[in-house]
Amino acid sequence: MACAQCRRQRSCLVAWLRRLFTALPTLAGVDTVRGLLIHALRLDGGLVEEYRIVAPTEWNFHPAGVFEGEVGLLPAVDGPARARVRRLAPALDRYVAWQLNRQEVAVDA
With beta carbons less than 8 A apart as the criterion, state whether 21 and 54 touch: no
Q: What is the pLDDT of residues 1-28, one digit of tens each?
A: 345 555 555 566 667 777 777 777 887 8
Q: Is 106 among the domain residues? A: no
Domains held by the chain: number: 1
The verdict on residue 109 lying in a domain is: no
pLDDT digits (tens, 9 = 90+) for 23-77: 778 878 888 877 778 888 888 998 999 898 888 888 788 777 788 878 877 777 6
Domain that holds residue 66: 4-92
Query: How much is the pLDDT for 49?
Result: 92
Alpha carbon distance 87, 2 (integer Å): 23
What predicted TM-score, i.e. pTM, was given to this entire model?
A: 0.56
Q: How many CB atoms lie within 10 A of CB 32?
A: 10
97 domain-assigned? no
Residue 99 within a domain: no
In a domain, 87, yes or no: yes
Q: Is residue 100 part of a domain?
A: no
